[in-house]
A and B are shown apart, each in its own frame.
Chain A
Amino acid sequence: EDQVTQSPEALRLQEGESSSLNCSYTVSGLRGLFWYRQDPGKGPEFLFTLYSAGEEKEKERLKATLTKKESFLHITAPKPEDSATYLCAGETSGSRLTFGEGTQLTVNP
């Protein structure tokens, strides 16, 4: 059974305090590993897709990396507006996504 596990469940940071979110996956026939950001009451907003181990992608203060078993979302010098729930998902054939439970990030000013 495909599984995606995220840790920690919740993370509180001070503004400027860098950290990383973890996503461990066991997905048969993984076609891509996705990161999304979800604000309260909204749908997920696409951040990154990673396709192969060793791949890295960056966008502003965020950088996503991928190994054969895990993906990390590194947040450098976060700002309060980075507060959100970050979701990781593994894609299998037919565009089916298996989501993790998410990490709720709070960045305090």
Chain B
Amino acid sequence: GAVVSQHPSWVICKSGTSVKIECRSLDFQATTMFWYRQFPKQSLMLMATSNEGSKATYEQGVEKDKFLINHASLTLSTLTVTSAHPEDSSFYICSARDLGRYNSPLHFGNGTRLTVT
């Protein structure tokens, strides 16, 4: 089945630094990938839609200059948290769909736990 891989699975960084998270579709091509954020005991909130070859679409309230998204190829999207602050500490999860399969669901990566100190 479709597999989505994220790296790293966890990262600790100092306040003011930037962190890059990678999301890869391992056995299919994804023209669109989705980035979600999940705070403890809460559900997933869509942050942005990453589009291969064009600009990402951000949800209302998500700062595009803080959360930089690059979808450089059909199998890779990256999320860079710039000038991270402790309030950015969260669980970041990406997802993608194999459009080559009829009625394929959205598959999720295993997430990246970001802790900003």
Of all chain B residues, the one with the shortest Cβ separation from A46 is B105
Complex CA distance for A41 and B111, rounded to whole angstroms: 8
Complex CA distance for A72 and B47, rounded to whole angstroms: 27
Counting CB contacts under 8 A, is A73 at the interface? no
* Choice from B45, B105, B108 contacting A43 with Cβ under 8 Å: B108
Complex CA distance for A102 and B111, rounded to whole angstroms: 17
Distance in Å from the Cβ of A109 to the closest Cβ of chain B? 25
Inter-chain contacts of B91 with A (CB < 8 A): 41
Counting CB contacts under 8 A, is B106 at the interface? yes
Complex CA distance for A46 and B32, rounded to whole angstroms: 18
* Choice from B42, B44, B45, B107 contacting A46 with Cβ under 8 Å: B107
Q: Is the CB of B106 within 8 A of A43?
A: no
Q: Is the CB of B34 within 8 A of A87?
A: no
Instruction: Report the interface size for chain B: residues with CB under 8 A from the other chain.
Output: 23
Quick one: given A43-B110, A96-B49, are A49 and B103 in contact (CB under 8 Å)? yes
Q: Is the CB of A43 within 8 A of B111?
A: yes
Inter-chain contacts of B108 with A (CB < 8 A): 36, 43-46
Q: Which of B14-63 contact A (CB under 8 A)?
A: 32, 34, 42-46, 49
Quick one: given A41-B111, A43-B111, A87-B43, are A95 and B6 in contact (CB under 8 Å)? no
Complex CA distance for A96 and B6, rounded to whole angstroms: 20
Inter-chain contacts of B4 with A (CB < 8 A): 43
Complex CA distance for A89 and B106, rounded to whole angstroms: 11
- Pick 22 A–B contacts, CB within 8 A, sort by A: A34-B106, A41-B113, A42-B110, A42-B111, A43-B93, A43-B111, A44-B93, A44-B108, A46-B105, A46-B108, A49-B105, A87-B43, A87-B44, A94-B32, A94-B49, A95-B34, A95-B97, A96-B46, A96-B49, A97-B34, A101-B42, A101-B43
For the complex of A and B, the 7 pairs showing the least CB-CB separation, nearest first, are A43-B108, A99-B43, A43-B110, A43-B111, A46-B105, A44-B108, A99-B44
